[in-house]
């Protein structure tokens, strides 16, 4: 079912790309748009992780460091292949996962996130990212971001160079295509974030730790600049919390709703909360933060 949804969403975005190409260049433009879309799909499939990580100037974390060992323990608990682990030197507190499948996955977190959260909360966040990998969300999220970004760029180009004979229909296509692509992005991320929250809570065994982390980073993620997202807005859907976006255009469900669902999980039979933290959700003493580059 997941592969079917992936194929349908990619087909929808490719069709949008072709319609825009036809509007701007007729049949020849549509054929070119199709070839470009297929080429992007193929290239992104094999290079999704490299593309995203390069956008963020991510630094690979060595085995033996605290952060690496934390992710390794979570991956072992989830019975998943060990992903590559990256650190991003950004104050914006965030994290994401990328890669075409669990065997070729990578997870990354910013220094801003690691400096703001305690160890249990970091476990919750990274378990959420492993949840995306386990649910095979990472490929489609990255590919959609790439194609949607290309549609927006082509539409902006068309505003200046469109055929004068295209008339109102052409102008509407130029404006509507980017919004249609954005709607597809929202449909993908809003449903899959809930799934990754649940999978992450099951992997870590601490739904309240993830809820606590979300409550701590949601506002700073909106307020503190995220340089990679400013350069490439389509990457915003990859993050665990949205960056610098109004609720109307957010690719994520409301953080308050995600926290409420995680609290419900903690109260489910057979699912302990597993966390007594300091984020105003459960109360209790603060635990020491993780040193991302420190060695055990």
Query: Which amino acids are annotated as binding site for Zn(2+), given as ranges?
Result: 128, 132, 193
* Alpha-carbon gap, residue 150 to 220, rounded angstroms: 29
Given strand 95-99, what is the order of strands in its sheet? 59-60, 84-88, 105-110, 95-99
Polymer length in residues for the chain: 296
* Alpha-carbon gap, residue 183 to 177, rounded angstroms: 10
Burial category of 41 from C-beta neighbours within 10 Å (exposed 0-12, middle 13-18, buried 19 and up): middle
* Alpha-carbon gap, residue 49 to 51, rounded angstroms: 5
Which of these is catalytic: 90, 121, 123, 129?
Answer: 129
Provide the token pair at 72.
């390794």
Q: Is 129 a catalytic residue?
A: yes
* Alpha-carbon gap, residue 9 to 11, rounded angstroms: 5
Angle between helix 167-204 and helix 138-161 axes, rounded to 10 deg: 160
* Alpha-carbon gap, residue 132 to 188, rounded angstroms: 12
- Which residues belong to the active site? 129
């Amino acid at each position: 079912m997941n592969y079917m949804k992936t194929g349908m969403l990619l087909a929808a975005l490719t069709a949008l790309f072709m319609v825009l190409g036809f509007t701007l260049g007729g049949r020849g433009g549509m054929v070119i748009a199709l070839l470009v879309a297929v080429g992007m799909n193929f290239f992104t499939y094999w290079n999704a992780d490299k593309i995203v990580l390069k956008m963020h100037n991510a630094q690979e974390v060595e085995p033996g460091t605290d952060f690496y060992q934390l992710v390794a323990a979570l991956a072992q608990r989830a019975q998943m292949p060990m992903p590559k682990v990256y650190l991003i030197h950004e104050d914006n507190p965030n994290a994401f996962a990328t890669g075409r499948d669990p065997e070729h996955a990578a997870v990354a977190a910013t220094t801003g996130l690691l400096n703001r959260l305690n160890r249990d909360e970091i476990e919750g966040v990274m378990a959420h990212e492993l949840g995306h990998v386990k649910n095979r969300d990472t490929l489609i999220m990255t590919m959609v971001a790439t194609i949607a970004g290309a549609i927006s760029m082509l539409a902006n180009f068309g505003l200046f160079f469109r055929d004068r004979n295209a008339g109102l229909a052409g102008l509407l296509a130029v404006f509507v295509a980017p919004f249609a692509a954005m709607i597809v992005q929202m449909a993908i991320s809003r449903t899959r974030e809930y799934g990754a929250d649940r999978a992450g809570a099951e992997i870590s065994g601490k739904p309240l730790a993830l809820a606590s982390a979300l409550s701590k980073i949601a506002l700073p993620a909106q307020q503190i600049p995220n340089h990679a997202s400013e350069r490439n807005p389509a990457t915003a859907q990859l993050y665990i919390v949205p960056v610098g976006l109004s609720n109307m255009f957010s690719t994520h469900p409301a953080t308050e709703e995600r926290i409420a669902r995680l609290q419900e999980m903690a109260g489910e039979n057979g699912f302990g909360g597993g966390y007594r933290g300091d984020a105003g959700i459960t109360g209790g003493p603060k635990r020491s933060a993780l040193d991302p580059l420190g060695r055990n």
